[in-house]
Every structure is written in C-alpha cells, then in structure tokens.
Amino acid sequence: MLAPQANISDAERERGLQQLVIEALFSNTTAALTTGVVLTAFALHLGANNSTIGLLAALPFLAQLAQLPAIALIERARQRKRIAVVSSVVGRSMLGVMALAPFAGPLALPALVTATLVLCALGAVGGCAWNSWMRDLAPENRMGRIFARRTFYATITSLLAGLGAALALEWTPEKSHGRDLAFAALYAAGCAAGLFSAWIVARMPEPIMPGGLRRDTSLLAQVRRPLGDLNFRRLILFLGTWQFAINFATPFFTVYLMRQLGYDMTVVMGLSIASQVANAVALRNWGTLADRFANKSVLLVAAPLYIICIAGMAGGSQIADPAVRLAWLGALHLFMGAAVAGVTLATANIALKLSPRGEAASYLAASAVVTALAAGSAPIIGGLLADFFAVRRLELVGRWTDPDGVFTYLSLALSNWDFYFLLSAVLGLYALHRLGHVEEAGEIGRQEMLRHVVRETRGSIHNFSTVTGLKALTDFPATFARELQVRQRYWRSRRAKDAPQSR
C-alpha cells in the first residue's frame, strides 16, 4: 500500500488528485485547531513571554533543517509515500502530548515547546518527501489550478475550524480550568484529524522516482546541485529575504492585538477568519493567473499588497476611535488574506516549477533550508528585541500657530510593535528587488498583470453575485471607460475635419 507504482493510469492519477483535495480538509483542520493564533493564545495562557512566543513561531521554520538528512533518505529509500506517512503519524501524535500540557504544571511550557519541535521536525521530513512526490504526480500545466482548488477548500475548512476554536475559547474564562479543557479538546481533535489525513495520504498513488540511484548521492552533493543553478539560486535568495521580512513581524500580530490594542480572543479570531475568507475568495483567481502567465507575475502584484498591509498595521495604534480602528484592522486583514493567497500559492509553485523532475527533493529541500534559517531567525530576533522596542517611542507632531491659536495637523506616535511592522515593510521592499532577478517562462509586467487581476476579480463578483445593482456597479468602470474612448475618438475626428478649414 505504501510502495511506489511503476505505472499509474489516468483514472488512478485523477483519483489521487481528488484525494489530494480531500486530504487538505483534514490536515488544515489540524493546522487551524493547533497553530497560528490558537498556538499563540495557548502559549500566553500557559504564561509564555515574548521570547517564548518568538521561539514557538521560529520552530516550524528552523525545523525545516531536517530536510537536509531527508534528502539523502529519499534518494536512498526512494519511497516517498512511506516516508511521508510514517513521519506524519509519529509527528502528529505529539499533538496528543500538547493536549496534556495544561495539566502538566511547571512542565507545561517545556512540554509545549518540545512537542512542537518534534512535530515540526518530522513534518519537515514528510514535507520533503511530499513535495517531490507531488512534483511528479501533478501535471505541470494544471499545477496552479490543482493546488489553488486544494488550498481553496482547505481555507474554507480552516475558516470553519477556526470559528469553532474561537467559540470554544470565548465560552471559557481566561486562566480558568475550563480554558485548560478547551485547549486540551482542540489539540486532541487536531491530533485525530491529522492521523486521518495520514490515512488518506497512504491511499494516494506514488509514481516511481525517475532515474536510478546516483553515485553522488552524498548530502553535500545533493545540496550543491540546486545551488549551482543560477536562476534557482536567485529564487532561493528572494525566498530567504522575503521570509525574513514577513516573519519579523507577522508572528506577533496576536500579541499586538491582545496586549497593545487590548482586544479579546473573539476579536482576534474574527479578524483571522475575515482574512481566511478573503484568502478563499482570491485563491481561484490567483491559481488561474499563475497557470496562464507565471508565478512571478502573481508575486509582483500580491507581494507589494502584503507589504502595504503589514505597514498599515502600525496605523491601528494611531486611531483613537474604537469603531474606526476595528474597521481599519478588518480592511487590512481582508486585503492581507487576498495577498497571502497569491504569495503562498506562487512561492510554492515557482519553486516546484523551477525544480527539474526527479530532482525536486534536493532542489526544494535546499530552498526550504535557506528559507528556514531566514524565517526561523526573524521571530527569534523579534522576540529578543521586544523589550528594547517596548521602552522606545517615536513621535512626529506638526503644528500650525497663528493669532487664532495652535492647530495640530499631524500626530504620529510609534511604539512597541509599530516599529516591527515598518521594519518588516522595508525588508520586504528589498526582497521584491531580489525577485526582479528571477527568470520564469511566461512572466508579464506588473501593469499588465494588474489589469488581469482586476478583470478576474470583476468576473468573480459577477459569478458570486445575483444582485443586479452590484453587477451594474462592477460594470460601471468599464462602461465609463468605453464611453470615454468613444467620445475621445469623436472629438479627434471633429478636430481633424476642422483643421483644414481653420488653415
């Protein structure tokens, strides 16, 4: 059942691609119940400080270093499904250990950190095998749509599971025994969903790896091969700088919302769900555009939007009115969710696309190692600098004085986490500079891509909406533009006719 197949029929391949979507429902249920906002809230519930929060955020990335030995394991064993399934079963069993953490007393936080490390390390080993396996299973001309569809349904599932987690935590008071039971139930449910996901993975077909065992299958040789590819090396440099930029700030969004802005868990989870909704709506369009043009073209639009949203988070502390502030944060999370959909899909697909068939394991693992070091070091550095920025404050005030009085027209006060968001945006701009050096077949310019994004978005609104007024509203810009062009052509022709008479 776990062995690779010499021949896979079209029916088996299509069935495997369908199971790929179904598996995402359970694996993302596990992620929604046990990672992200829930993991941060769990750590805060157990008494974690900023350094511990940064460490927990860094572990999933630093654990990707386990892909280095995984490369050699895959090349020698050549059974990617077996590696993926076994590592998934053992790793996700750690979620059961984490479910017991609230009742472990002084050992609660050490148990949480240790179990997270084991889970992430084995997930990295399984992920290395999984990526190489999917590279050979999914047709290249459908890759964007397949993974967009998988991510779409996974996002919907994550949304529902996240909503359930938010309700479970909302109904239990902070620092109470009921909250202990709520976290234990969430992690137990996540463990069960993760094990069922591994069972589905075991039923998917795996093609035999192309080529035989090479003589240069040493770990050093496997890592050096992708680094010798100039274009892939440029891609790795972009991915590394990008991951450092965004992970310098984003792991602390929950801490920022709860501690600096004073929101409770319900609001934090609500903003997270809003982001996931936007993510799900945008995914289909990003997948279509990635297949039609190139992943780099998608990144040239989605990545700058993501950077702007991260910088905009600093605006939350500048808004005094609670309603306006919440609306601002809600809008940012909607745009951020749509941008993350494009960035996540494009970065995963461009690495797959630029990896040669049969060598995807070493190429993707080399990429994962570099990005792991960058993304893993960013939140650790951020956590260590938290106390430094907590006692610093930058104020910019503009005042106009005249006989009638003093008028303040600018008041900007940056403190604590605000510095993180602005620094993250600056680093993100440098990452975009590195992206410009990567070459991908079929890429188009940012302006042209923006036009296609707008066209796809309007098409999605037409498909989702049954309200005539909303459709007319989406038609208005195009109708107005066409009318303007007609009028311009008319007046040009009139001027051309009148010109000889005036002479």
Alpha helix stretches (DSSP H) within 206-252? 219-227, 230-247
Distance between CA atoms of residues 255 and 267, nearest Å: 13
Picking from 308, 317, 283, the residue whose alpha carbon sits closest to that of residue 298 is: 283
Alpha helix stretches (DSSP H) within 138-264? 143-170, 177-202, 219-227, 230-247, 253-255
Q: Is 254 helix (H, G, I), strand (E, B) or coil?
A: helix
pTM value is 0.67
Cβ proximity of 66 and 124 under 8 Å: yes
What local confidence, expressed as pLDDT, does residue 61 receive?
A: 83
What local confidence, expressed as pLDDT, does residue 493 receive?
A: 61
**What's the CA angle centered on 274, arms 346 and 62, to 5 degrees?**
50
Q: Dihedrals φ, ψ of 385, to 5°? A: -85, 0
Q: Residue 367: exposed, middle, or buried by beta-carbon count in 10 A (0-12, 13-18, 19+)?
A: buried
Distance between CA atoms of residues 391 and 457, nearest Å: 44
Extract the tokens encoding 114: 């240790």
What local confidence, expressed as pLDDT, does residue 264 receive?
A: 82
Extract the tokens encoding 497: 């006719």
Cβ proximity of 64 and 372 under 8 Å: yes
Distance between CA atoms of residues 375 and 247, nearest Å: 6
Give the DSSP H or E segment for 406.
Answer: strand 405-415
Q: Are strands 393-402 and 405-415 parallel, antiparallel or unpaired?
A: antiparallel
**What's the CA angle centered on 86, arms 196 and 143, to 5 degrees?**
70
CA atoms within 13 A on the CB side of 192: 6
What local confidence, expressed as pLDDT, does residue 306 receive?
A: 93
Distance between CA atoms of residues 277 and 274, nearest Å: 5
Distance between CA atoms of residues 353 and 428, nearest Å: 23
Picking from 121, 122, 126, the residue whose alpha carbon sits closest to that of residue 59 is: 121
Picking from 146, 175, 145, 179, the residue whose alpha carbon sits closest to that of residue 165 is: 179
Q: How many whole angstroms from its chain centre is CA 411?
A: 33
Extract the tokens encoding 160: 């529902």
**Count of beta carbons in the 10 Å neighbourhood of residue 58:** 23
Cβ proximity of 155 and 95 under 8 Å: no
Distance between CA atoms of residues 207 and 107, nearest Å: 44
- Range 138-173 burial, b when 16+ CB lie within 10 A, else e: beeeebbbbbbbbbbbbbbbbbebbbbbbebbeebe
Picking from 272, 274, 228, the residue whose alpha carbon sits closest to that of residue 253 is: 272
Distance between CA atoms of residues 169 and 418, nearest Å: 27
**What's the CA angle centered on 236, arms 246 and 208, to 5 degrees?**
115
Cβ proximity of 435 and 298 under 8 Å: no
Distance between CA atoms of residues 82 and 197, nearest Å: 14
Positive/negative CA dihedral, 352, 356, 361, 367: negative
Picking from 123, 129, 180, 161, the residue whose alpha carbon sits closest to that of residue 37 is: 161
Q: Residue 106: exposed, middle, or buried by beta-carbon count in 10 A (0-12, 13-18, 19+)?
A: exposed
Distance between CA atoms of residues 330 and 343, nearest Å: 20
Q: List the end-to-end C-alpha distance of the chain, in Å, as a whole number.
A: 88
What local confidence, expressed as pLDDT, does residue 442 receive?
A: 59
What local confidence, expressed as pLDDT, does residue 480 receive?
A: 36
DSSP per-residue codes, 29-59 = HHHHHHSTHHHHHHHHHTT--HHHHHHHHHH
What local confidence, expressed as pLDDT, does residue 82 receive?
A: 93
**Count of beta carbons in the 10 Å neighbourhood of residue 429:** 13
Q: Mean pLDDT for each 10-residue chunk of the chain (503 residues)?
A: 83 87 91 90 89 88 83 85 94 95 92 95 90 81 75 82 85 87 95 95 88 55 76 89 89 85 84 85 78 80 91 88 92 93 85 75 77 87 80 79 75 80 91 85 60 58 44 38 48 55 45
Cβ neighbours of residue 461 closer than 8 Å, sequence gap 6 or more: 470, 471, 474
Distance between CA atoms of residues 418 and 438, nearest Å: 32
Query: What does the DSSP 8-state code read for residue 207?
Result: B
